[in-house]
Structure 1
Amino acid sequence: MPVRSLGAAGSAGSAAAPYSKELRLLLHVLHRATAGSPKSVCENIEGFGSHSLGQSRSWLKLAGGNKAPVLTCASQAAPPQTSVLEIGTYCGYSSLRLALAVPGAKIATADVDPAHVLIARNVLAFAGLEPPRVTVWTGHSTDLLPRLSAHFRPGSFGFVFMDQRGSLYHEDLDALERAKLLHQGAVLLADNVLKPGSPLLLWRLSADPKYQALQLSMEEFAMPVEDWMALAVIKDMASSPPEVPAPRLLRDLHEFSDEIRARALIPGRGIDFQEWKDLADEMKRGLHSLGITALAVEPSS
């Protein structure tokens, strides 16, 4: 199966049956969390990822731990009376966090993997979140984002969270701009832009005058490895990006990020925590040489 067609996390590095990790997570939530409580469901998902999986190759790809406050604060900085878009639902954790952070906003979230969509819908329904409050779409962002304009008015989205395949983030941003779905002053947050990496998005945000952007560095959830989140605000919708050719190193880093993803998805092999650290360090050295750096975020208590 081509890497492009895979979901946000799949069964990366696991020799077990497909989706066994995600199904165990669902059972954990149903047995231990409080029905109708998004907060309880979030806490139990984090607990499963931190403790039940342990120090293994079987990592749960969540914007939890030190990333959760960044997600909350960024979404609360979005223009009022706008909707939220998440690209990469996985098991529904970030959708729950967003629902808690912006109680009045409608959330549209999408994942390419039908199994992830089914699990996320069950997790969200158990927490008491169903359409139209939170709607889970099925489809690849390349196909789905252009179709959203048939369901949402121009400028609908004041906050966008990207949490799928980072080497496609720049294409997703282009699609949202072409569809005119972003609100003036919209806030964009992208996860895992250091590991496995999203060099083309980081270059785009740094070179495009319509965005005010920075990178935030913190420890990955349930993994003692550095990662970055990219945070950007639309300053001027009318600005056009300069025609700056991408350096060869940028293309090399883009290919490197896809190689990392492909390795992480090899059944029974995957990438252990030390390898993730080494790969993140290599990506960071390359980004630094291009003038792309990050500000450290204090660990959450």
Structure 2
Amino acid sequence: MSAELIAKHPSLKKAIELGDAYVEWNDGREARLMEYIYSHPELDSLRGHPEKILAAMDEFSSQQDLLISVGFQKAKILKDLVASESPQIVVELGGYLGYSAILFGDQMRRNAASSMDKVSSLRVWSLEASPIYAAFTMSMIDLAGLSDIVKVVTGLAEASLRRLHHSGNLKQVDFLFMDHQETLYTSDLKLCEELGIFKLGSVIAADNVVRPGAPEYREYVRGQSRFESKGIPCFITPGDLPDEMEVTKVLS
């Protein structure tokens, strides 16, 4: 990794120095991010501006501590997908600190900006297992001014999906984003199939299918005739080894 890249992204230095001892998350950096955001000198200008909040999160990740959030490079892939597919109902499995939920809600509102009726029908269900990270996500969603669109659900994805479906709150999903535990991708996808919430044209995006990897999931979606699936190259951190996001469309 070049000195120039490290100078541009100082947070990489800690990861390099610690090597295998480096911890990627759950070491207090999430709380430090919240302190960083809410003590930001331009906090008033961040309020109600999702794109500025995402930029501030990226800044923290680059300058302070790396975050395992989507990040700016993968964000463009997801933003372009949401812009082209125009989903009304998005479900994400793994909310973490709210980065992707903010991105989804903001782009969906932009897609429907010409019609208030369309805006009122938009929904992002952000499912997060950790009550601590769910609380962080709720705070960030509120700061972004997206609480009318994004709803955070605390609990394991399987139980939350069943509960939302059985309550009638989740009858179908236009866009599913999986960014939680990779070993759960296949079982949670099959649960969505069991619940019958996919429709013709639904899109499923699964992150980190190469690193740390979800080979069983990739084999499953590429082996089903009702799916059309491909990997989109991406990076976890600047200068890092490449990863892929598996993007799948429901054909029947």
TM-score, normalization by structure 2: 0.80
Cα offset for 1:28? 1.2
Q: 1:138 to 1:153 in 2, by over 3 A?
A: closer
Could you tell me which residue of structure 1 aligns to residue 92 of structure 2? 86
For residues 17-68 of structure 1, the C-alpha deviation after alignment (integer angstroms, 9 at most, x for no partner) is x551001111111122411211111000011111112xxxxx3111112211
Partner SS state of residue 77, structure 1:
helix
Which residue number in structure 1 is paired with residue 102 of structure 2?
96
* Counterpart position of 1:197: 213
Distance 1:208 1:40, change over 3 A: same
SS of residue in 2 equivalent to 1:172: helix
Give aligned-pair identity as a percent: 24
Name the structure, 1 or 2, with higher relative contact order (CA <8 Å, separation 6+). Answer: 1
Aligned length: 216
Q: What amino acid is aligned across from residue 99 of structure 2 in structure 1?
A: Y
Match of 2:8 in 1: none
Q: Alpha-carbon deviations, 1:217-269, whole Å to 9, x = none?
A: 12223452211100010011xxxxxxxxxxxxxxxxxxxxxxxxxxxxxxxxx
Q: Shift of residue 189 of structure 1?
A: 0.6
CA distance in structure 1 between the aligned counterparts of 2:69 and 2:163, rounded to whole angstroms? 27
2:13 is matched with none
- Matched residue of 2:72: which SS? coil
1:143 and 2:159 matched: yes
The structure in which a higher percent of residues are helix is: 2
Structure 2 residue 234 is the aligned partner of structure 1 residue 218:
yes
Which structure 1 segments of 5+ residues have no match? 1-11, 54-58, 237-301
Paired amino acid for 1:227: D
Distance in 2 between the 1:203 and 1:35 partners? Answer: 42
- SS at 2:240 equivalent: coil
Cα displacement (A) at 1:167: 1.2
- The 8 Å contact of residues 73 and 235 in structure 2, kept in 1 or not, is answered as yes
Q: Please state if 1:122 is matched with 2:130.
A: no
Helix, strand or coil for the counterpart of 2:85? Answer: coil
Give the counterpart of 1:74 among 81, 90, 93. Answer: 81
**Partner of 1:46 in structure 2?**
58
Deviation sequence 1:254-299 (CA, Å, 0-9, x none) = xxxxxxxxxxxxxxxxxxxxxxxxxxxxxxxxxxxxxxxxxxxxxx
Question: For residues 92 and 146 of structure 2, what CA distance do their matches in structure 1 show?
Answer: 15
Aligned to 1:162: 178
The answer to whether the aligner puts 1:25 opposite 2:33 as a matched pair is yes
**1:188 CA drift (Å):** 0.7
Say if 2:150 is the partner of 1:134: yes
2:9 is matched with which residue? none
Residue 211 of structure 1 deviates from its aligned partner by 0.6
What secondary structure does 2:196 align onto?
coil
Identify unmatched segments of 5+ residues in structure 2: 1-20, 110-118
Following superposition, the deviation at residue 213 of structure 1 comes to 0.5
Distance 1:42 1:62 in 2: 10
- Structure 2 CA distance for aligned equivalents of residues 210 and 231 of structure 1: 14
**Deviation (angstroms), 1:13:** 4.4
SS of match in other structure, 1:136: strand
Shift of 1:137: 0.3
Q: Residue 187 of structure 1 aligns to a residue in which SS?
A: strand
